[in-house]
Chain A
Amino acid sequence: AQSVAQPEDQVNVAEGNPLTVKCTYSVSGNPYLFWYVQYPNRGLQFLLKYITGDNLVKGSYGFEAEFNKSQTSFHLKKPSALVSDSALYFCAVDDYKLSFGAGTTVTVRA
């Protein structure tokens, strides 16, 4: 079965600092990888996906993610975090359905 893992329950950063949310994957074949964000009491919003092509994927709200095959990672990054980026972030793998990681709560302090 294909799966993803998010090793950090929480990430805390100061506004203006770089933000990284980690994700590793375990898949056979070519992975389809996604990042979603969930704001409090809201639904899931799509940020970006990796299907094939460039290893650096750019997404919504200034986020990007780097697909690293040798490290089986797909970390989400933002060069300069905003307080409004505080939310719950999910990495997911598409195995004809989405299988999600456990989520990482990001808190950006002013």
Chain B
Amino acid sequence: DTAVSQTPKYLVTQMGNDKSIKCEQNLGHDTMYWYKQDSKKFLKIMFSYNNKELIINETVPNRFSPKSPDKAHLNLHINSLELGDSAVYFCASSQNRDRAEYGYTFGSGTRLTVV
């Protein structure tokens, strides 16, 4: 069983569209994250939820809206997609919101291409 799974794996869409990426973890973790990896491979935190509560909200355009229906799921919705949103988006989870003594588990990523 995949611990942190993201869908879709690849997403190609036109500018101006709205799209969602889904993430699910079956580890029983309380905290989930979204990271963005840009074309230069830089990885940066976007959001974090702890047990459905938003706890980290970095400087991200408000076209990006995370939603956590329960602590096992964290989805990312993006409105009015722009070329600059093209990136790989990684979901991750950790046991709780404290520093992760037991580490972070990452999904395999969603490669978003905006054309």
Whether the pair A97, B106 counts as a contact (CB closer than 8 A) is: no
Contact A49 B45 (CB under 8 A): no
* Residue contact B45 to A99, C-beta cutoff 8 Å: yes
Across the interface, do B108 and A43 meet the contact criterion of CB distance under 8 Å?
A: yes
Residues of chain A contacted by B44 (CB below 8 angstroms): 100
Which one of A61-69, A71-79, A88-96 is at the B interface?
A88-96
Q: What bracket does the count of chain B residues touching chain A fall in? A: 20 to 34
**Nearest-Cβ distance from residue A61 to partner chain B, whole angstroms:** 16
A100–B41 CA distance with the chains assembled, in angstroms = 11
Query: Which of B42, B56, B90, B99 is A102 in contact with, Cβ under 8 Å?
Result: B42
How far, in Å, is B2 (CB) from chain A's closest CB? 10
Instruction: Tell me, yes or no, whether A25 is within 8 Å of chain B by CB.
Output: no
Number of interface residues of A (CB under 8 A): 22
B9 vs chain A, min Cβ distance (A): 10
Residue of B at shortest CB range from A30?
B99
- Measured CB to CB, the residues of A under 8 A from B are 32, 34, 36, 38, 42-46, 49, 51, 88, 90, 94-100, 102-103
B residues near A (Cβ < 8 Å) are 33, 35, 40-45, 48, 56, 90, 92, 97-101, 103-109
**Can you name 21 A-B residue pairings with CB atoms under 8 Å?**
A32-B101, A36-B106, A42-B109, A43-B106, A43-B108, A43-B109, A44-B106, A45-B106, A46-B105, A51-B101, A94-B99, A96-B97, A96-B98, A97-B45, A98-B35, A98-B92, A99-B45, A102-B40, A102-B41, A102-B42, A103-B43
Beyond contacts A43-B108, A46-B103, A46-B105: 6 other A-B pairs, Cβ-Cβ < 8 A, are A45-B106, A94-B100, A96-B98, A97-B48, A100-B43, A103-B42
